[in-house]
Amino acid sequence: MNARYSHSALGLYYLKANLQELQEQAHITEFTLETKIEDCVEEIFAYTPKIVGIGVYIWNVEKMLALAQMLKLLAPKLLIVGGGPELFYEVEKHPLFPYLDYVIPGEGERVFYSFCKNIFQGKLPGESKILPRDFPPLESLLSPYPLYSEENIKNRRVYVESSRGCPYHCEFCLSSRETKVRHFPLQHFLQDLSSLWNRGVREFKFIDRTFNLDLQHSLPILEFFLNQKQHDFFLHFEMVPHHLPLELKEVLKRFTQGQIQAEVGVQSFNPEVAKRVGRVAKGQEILENLSFLRNETQVYLHVDLIVGLPGESLESFAAGFDLLMGLSPKVHEIQIGILKCLPGALIARHTEDFEMLYNRAPPYDILQNQQITFADLQRIKRLAKFWDLYNNSGNFKNTLPLLFKRKRESCLNQAFAFFSFLDFSDWCYQQVKHTSSLALERQALLLYRYLIEQIKYPASDVTPLLQKDYLCIEGRHLPPFLRGLQQEHSLLNKDKGEKIAKRSLSRKRQIKQGS
């Protein structure tokens, strides 16, 4: 059950690919969160299954619980097997556990095959509902990519995986519990990439925890794409910010604009906080590497920070945010994440010392701690939403800098950029009382009003910039409040070179943000 239609569940394709002689008896069924549970059950029952396996993630827990309850109500003898990140640790405490016949914690390719084979031979597992953990040699697994349909390739994101595991010990991440890194055989993986490429795939989202960890593995993969005759591809991968050897820098410099998006987990610039949660605390080196990527490559940078880490105050977080904003040019996106205490995550060990209170329901986000009140965390959660709408979207790249040009009394002796946007976020919420389903015209009007009414910019300073932002995509028309100083047709003629056409979901922001 995916968050949206454009996503696909790579884990299910791995499971089916490794069912060996049972593969033809298996069917992958994918839904979205909008699908009614009754419709899911109806489609599942159309296959008259003996076994139903469900992948449970933080975003689909509630829907999967409702699905399992209805399946058991209508077909009590149906065997339901659960797996996925939500069922890694503390499985017996999970609300789904009573409705599952068996659970496969962790990697399931070999375990699920053996389970299904035994069931069809009339052999039940032992008394425990929780089947043994398994970490199969990756060279023993059959590739899932041939199972991607033409519909997948044409209309959905294609996820690929060149390694599993992570060597780092970030306590908010479940990967910190199992730190051994394993790589898929490089030549086989390159053959998989070649096959996908020949089928027309041009967007590849790598789910590796740390793509730039082992250069002997990652550099040949990057060279594979550089060696293609066509250059209209898009790669997304996660990088650690402190590991950027010269050889990797030289390769990254060869990619052109729009070809690579790097998701870089900084999380905190506070060295004491970083060490406390198992992060590598090399703030200056991280800033230097980010500056290199922005100034000497055309990599699109999506940088993550986390609010609510034990021992980090609002002022400390704000200072880290301003460090990123101070880069010239600044990174393309700053993702403001809210700390979560996932079941089994080591971050739970700080709960008592730092008075950490978490939501007991998914997504298990922090509610308050010793340093940040519940009220302030609510404000920051709203700020994160508005920041995504106004900055990360790329919709207001010409106008938004006005927010950060004039220091006001409320921001003196503080992290100016962060608290300036916090003021704007608070004001927006007072106007609309929500953070979602805000149409672009409403967003533009809020920004226009705030800059003129609260910061006291002349309309003549604001209107041309908003007009330019609003008309950067072909087919848009200026809303009434922006039709004052400059006629729409003249702006269209002036800025033809900056216009962008509609593109695929995963590249819209990169195109808007530009270099």
- CATH for 114: 3.40.50.280
- State the pLDDT at residue 368: 98
Query: Does residue 323 form part of some domain?
Result: yes
Same domain, 113 and 62: yes
232 domain-assigned: yes
Do 96 and 71 meet the contact criterion of CB atoms below 8 Å apart? no
Are 451 and 462 in contact, with CB atoms under 8 Å apart? yes
- In the listed set 97, 120, 143, which residue is the last one of a domain according to the structure? 120
* CA-wise closest residue to 180 among 196, 164, 157: 164
Residue 134 belongs to some domain of the structure: no
User: Are residues 114 and 257 both part of a single domain?
Assistant: no
pLDDT value, residue 280: 84
State the pLDDT at residue 408: 54
Domain span including residue 484: 394-515
Closest CA to 224 of 249, 245, 254, 199: 254
Phi then psi dihedrals of residue 30, to 5 deg: -120, 135
Q: Given this model, what pLDDT does residue 484 score?
A: 65
The reported pLDDT for the residue numbered 126 is 83
- What's the pTM value of the predicted model, to 2 decimals? 0.90
User: Is 407 inside any structural domain?
Assistant: yes
pLDDT reported for residue 496: 41
User: What pLDDT, on a 0 to 100 scale, did the predictor assign at position 346?
Assistant: 94
Residues in the chain: 515
Q: Does one domain contain both 99 and 173?
A: no
Name every residue whose Cβ is closer than 8 Å to that of residue 461 and which is 6 or more positions away in sequence: 402, 451
What pLDDT is attached to residue 504? 54
SS3 of 149-205: CHHHHHHCCEEECCEECCCCCCCCCHHHHCCCCEECCHHHHHHHHHHHHHCCCCEEE
Number of domains comprising the chain: 3
In a domain, 367, yes or no: no
DSSP-derived letter for residue 471 is: T
Same domain, 167 and 303: yes
Whole-angstrom distance, CA of residue 346 vs CA of residue 21: 40
Q: Per the domain annotation, does 335 fall within a domain?
A: yes
Quote the pLDDT of residue 411.
55
Q: Cα dihedral sign for 85, 88, 91, 97?
A: positive
Report the chain (515 residues): mean pLDDT per 10 consecutive residues: 94 97 96 97 98 96 97 97 94 96 96 97 91 95 96 93 92 82 97 97 95 94 96 95 94 97 96 94 92 97 98 96 93 97 94 97 96 98 97 95 75 79 97 92 96 94 94 85 59 42 58 66
The answer to whether residues 317 and 265 belong to one domain is: yes
Residue 193 and residue 332 in one domain: yes
330 and 191 fall within a common domain: yes
- Residue 483 pLDDT: 84
Q: Is residue 126 part of a domain?
A: no
Cα-based distances in Å from 112 to 53, 81, 229, 243: 9, 9, 40, 37
